[in-house]
Amino acid sequence: MSRAAATVNDRRNGRQNTGAREVLRLAAIDLGSNSFHMVVAQADADGSVTTLWRVKEMVGVGRASFPAHRLTSAAMDRGIVALRRIVQAAQRRQCEKIVAVATSAIREAENGGDFIERARRELGINVRVVTAREEARLIYLGVRQAVDLSRGPHCIIDIGGGSVEFIVGNDQRPLLIESRKLGAARMTAQFIKSDPIEGRQLKRLLAHYDEQIGGVCEAIAQYAPVRFIGTSGTLESLAAMCGSSWEPDDRGFCGVVERGRFNRLLNELLESGSAQRAQMRGLDSQRQDQIVAGAVLVGELIRRLSIPQIHVTHSALREGILVEYLQRHLPELAIRRDVPDPRRRSVLDLARRCDWHQPHAEQVARLILRLFDQLKSLHGMTPQHRELIEYAALLHDIGWHIARRRHHKHSMYLILNGDLRGFEPEEVRIIACIARYHRKSLPKARHPEFAALSAESRRVVRKATALLRIADGLDRSHGQVITDLRCRLNGRSVAVSVEARGDAELELWGARRRMDYFVEQFDRSITFEQR
């Protein structure tokens, strides 16, 4: 297993001293036709993303699959073995999330689904198969995060084993996306039958390229790209063979394919057999059989588009996977940054996913905790119960995400099935039941979820429900009018006085109409007034 230098790796370069706290470690895996790649990155509390490791396995799942449109059993086994090593590497590096994407070879194979199922069953990895256009979009995202595309349209060319993606884009969006089934492994299998390539085979290959890329080149030329950028193994190899360094420069490029030097290299490749190619500097031994087909394509693109040079970057599909995941999970990352407690973080993540009304939920949680803390001698619940009650208050209205009607029951369902992490099953049921009983029906033995609780947990739910109904009533307007409250116990009565911004009569009315269960549970009368 080989590891390339990271695109951004301050740890490696000795410059990491930002004080930022890592909030997520993520692995992105690209299951390509030639090779499987993984990049491991961390997202930090300051919003920055640092690439930590790159891993590559040359697998060649597409080597024999393109003509038959099926993955051979040997290729499938190689792929699973390689993926297992990659996943284990991610786990050793303590990645919390592994995102895997499959492209051309697996996408087109009739039995590609069998590979996906084996990965899920044997490795616990859900592999997402992307369309050609989606693959190109992810490549664009990966390049954009590494390279400045602001000076005008840039043309990105990604030559994979099965397909070639062409993207014209700027720093805002892709302007043109095209994909052609012209990958180096596919073209080698289809056209190159001898070593070195014979003249008639080269002629057929060139004719095929002429047919496939003519329209694409015309479309690209209309945008007048200011720079051509190459990604993935074929162009990385050609850049290395042209004498480029593997290390990225401060612009995000790891090499360049310059027209004059490349044309000389192309002539050498066309005349060389495998023994000669094995001696060529910069050529990965496992790409020797495919480099000719890829180089011929690059030569045609340079000729048709009058390309003076192609700048090559390591950033491609796998980095795009990272960017997309992090963009979609920015709110979750903000929670991770601001909330170190994993239980609370899990609750807030569920609330966010359910489009909660945050101001109301947080107000009800504040009020119920004020009631809880000042009435300890009355309810006798523990600090552990206090935590669960706060979470129930934060989540009590998330059922609105499904529907207004019966939303209290929807809240219970979402909590029970919301993948709350760090909680015991009994704790999740307590939170769900408290949220469910904030309105309408009171706790009853015939309710299955309530009946499933222990006797002690049922006692907690009853008392917490009494408090939650009052706290919810005290924000009847959902306007967070009440700023504080004080409770005074006097014999068999409780007096609650509130401070508010303006008139709190609606809130006091809301609490009074929901106080009956409190009176029943605690055998105390309760009054409300504004100070």
Q: What is the CATH number of the domain that holds 176?
A: 3.30.420.150
Whether pLDDT at 272 is above 90: yes
For the ranges 42-51, 70-79, 212-221, 397-406, which has the lowest average pLDDT? 42-51
pLDDT band at 45 (very low <50, low <70, confident <90, very high): low
Question: Is residue 385 situated within a structural domain?
Answer: yes
* CB distance 178 to 137 below 8 Å: no
Q: How many CB atoms lie within 10 A of CB 92?
A: 8
Q: Is 380 found in the same domain as 283? A: no
Contacts for 314 with CB less than 8 Å, ≥ 6 apart: 4, 5, 7, 54, 146, 231, 236, 248, 254
178 and 43 co-located in one domain: no
Q: Quick check: is 331 in a domain?
A: no
Rounded mean pLDDT of 168-176? 95
Query: Taking the chain, what is the end-to-end CA distance rounded to the nearest angstrom?
Result: 71
Beta-ladder partners of 166: 157, 178
What local confidence, expressed as pLDDT, does residue 507 receive? 97
Please write the tens of the pLDDT for every residue from 435-455: 999 999 999 999 999 999 999
Query: Is 50 exceeded by the pLDDT of residue 250?
Result: yes
| Same domain, yes or no: 84 and 121 | yes
Statement to judge: residues 301 and 157 lie in one domain: yes
d(CA 280, CA 173) in angstroms, rounded, equals 38
**Of 296, 313, 330, at which residue does a domain stop?**
313
Quick one: which of 132, 109, 129, 119 has its CA closest to 30? 129
Q: Is residue 319 part of a domain?
A: no
Q: Please say whether the beta carbons of 442 and 434 come within 8 A.
A: no
Phi, psi of 475 (to 5 degrees): -125, 45
Same domain for 126 and 189, yes or no, is: no
Same domain, 411 and 487: yes
CA angle 372, 374, 375 (to 5 degrees): 65
Is the model's pLDDT at 21 over the cut of 80?
no
| Residue 139 placed within a domain | no
Q: Is 137 contained in some domain? A: no
* H-helix or E-strand spanning residue 24: strand 22-31
Backbone dihedral angles phi then psi of residue 26, each to the nearest 5 degrees: -130, 140
Residue 2 has pLDDT above 70, yes or no: no
**Which of 313, 347, 379 marks a domain boundary?**
313
d(CA 509, CA 530): 11
Mark whether 250 and 182 lie in a shared domain.
yes
Q: Which amino acid is at 504?
A: A
CB-based burial, 513-523: b 16+ in 10 Å, e otherwise: ebbebbeebbe
Closest CA to 415 of 466, 442, 449: 449
Whether omega before 340 lies within 30 degrees of 0, making that bond cis, reads no
- Do 81 and 178 fall within a single domain? no
137-160: per-residue pLDDT in tens? 999 999 998 899 988 999 999 999
Contact (Cβ atoms closer than 8 angstroms) between residue 460 and residue 429: no
Longest dimension (CA), the chain: 104
- Report d(CA 113, CA 105) in Å as an integer: 11
d(CA 145, CA 143): 6
Q: What confidence tier does 10 reach under pLDDT thresholds 50, 70, 90?
A: very low
What is the spatial distance between Cα 394 and Cα 369, in angstroms, rounded to a whole number? 11
CATH code for the domain of 114: 3.30.420.40
Q: Is-contact 190 119, C-beta < 8 A? A: no
Indicate the range of 15-24, 119-128, 132-141, 476-485 predicted with least confidence: 15-24
Q: How confident is the model at residue 337 (pLDDT cuts 50, 70, 90)?
A: confident
* pLDDT given at position 252: 66
Beta strands 164-169 and 493-500, pairing class: unpaired
Backbone angles phi, psi at 60, to 5 degrees: 70, 40
Phi, psi of 156 (to 5 degrees): -105, 130
Same domain, 468 and 380: yes
pLDDT score at 15: 34
Instruction: Name the amino acid, one letter, at 384.
Output: Q
Please give the average per-residue pLDDT across 326-347, as a whole number: 82
C-beta separation of 343 from 394 below 8 A:
no
Boundaries of domain holding 369: 339-530
- Binned at pLDDT 50, 70 and 90, residue 417 comes out as very high
DSSP-assigned states of every residue in 65-86:
HHHHTS--HHHHHHHHHHHHHH
416 in the same domain as 382: yes
User: Does residue 383 sit within a domain?
Assistant: yes
What average pLDDT is seen over the chain? 91
In the predicted model, is pLDDT for residue 4 greater than 90? Answer: no
CATH classification at residue 423? 1.10.3210.10
Tokens of 200: 């008639």
Report d(CA 54, CA 41) in Å as an integer.
9
| Residues 149 and 169: beta-carbon distance below 8 Å | yes
Classify residue 511: in a domain, yes or no.
yes
Q: Given a cut of 60, is residue 13 above it in pLDDT?
A: no
Total tally of structural domains belonging to the chain: 3
For 529, counting Cβ atoms within 10 Å of its Cβ (0-12 exposed, 13-18 middle, 19+ buried), the class is exposed
Question: Where is pLDDT greater, at 5 or 486?
Answer: 486
Same-domain pairing of 160 and 293:
yes
Average confidence (pLDDT) over 68-73: 90
Quote the pLDDT of residue 28: 96
335 pLDDT band (50/70/90 cuts)? Answer: confident
- pLDDT (0 to 100) of residue 432: 98
Average pLDDT estimate for 65-90: 93
β-pairing verdict for 22-31 and 97-102: parallel
Q: How far apart are CA 469 and CA 514, in angstroms?
A: 6
Can you give the pLDDT at residue 16? 41
Q: How confident is the model at residue 339 (pLDDT cuts 50, 70, 90)?
A: confident
**Residues 159 and 263 reside in one and the same domain:** yes
For the cut 70, the answer to whether the pLDDT of residue 93 exceeds it is: yes
Q: What is the pLDDT of residues 468-515, one digit of tens each?
A: 999 999 999 999 999 999 999 999 999 999 999 999 999 999 999 999
Under a CB-based contact definition with an 8 Å cutoff, are residues 159 and 317 in contact? no
Do 319 and 262 form a contact (C-beta atoms < 8 A)?
no
Residue 432 lies inside a defined structural domain of this protein: yes
Residue 233 has a pLDDT of 86
Pairing of strands 309-313, 22-31: unpaired
Helix, strand, or coil (residue 36): strand
Residues 6+ apart with CB under 8 A from 203: none
What is the reported pLDDT for 218? 97
